A and B are shown apart, each in its own frame.
Chain A
Amino acid sequence: PSVAISTSQVRALLLSENRQTNVTTPMGNMMLEIQGDLEIPETSHADDRFSSHEGVDIVKFGLLHVNMETKSATLFIGKKQRLLGSVVKLDTPLGLLKFNHKSGTVEMQDIFSYKVIFKNRPLPIM
Chain B
Amino acid sequence: KNFRIWVRYKEGFSDAVRKNVSWHDLWS
| CB-nearest residue of chain A to B8 | A37
Q: Which of B1, B2, B6, B27 contacts A39 (CB 8 A)?
A: B6
A36 B8 Cβ-Cβ under 8 A:
yes
> Assuming A1-B23, A99-B27, A101-B27, is B5 touching A61 (CB within 8 A)?
yes
B4 A39 Cβ-Cβ under 8 A:
yes
Complex alpha-carbon distance, A59 and B5, angstroms: 9
Determine if A111 is an interface residue (Cβ-Cβ < 8 Å): no
State the interface size on chain B (CB cutoff 8 A). 14
Determine if A23 is an interface residue (Cβ-Cβ < 8 Å): no
A interface, size bucket: 20 to 34
Q: List residues of chain B with CB within 8 A of the CB of A40.
A: 5
Determine if B16 is an interface residue (Cβ-Cβ < 8 Å): no
Contacts from B to A (Cβ < 8 Å): 1-10, 13, 23, 26-27
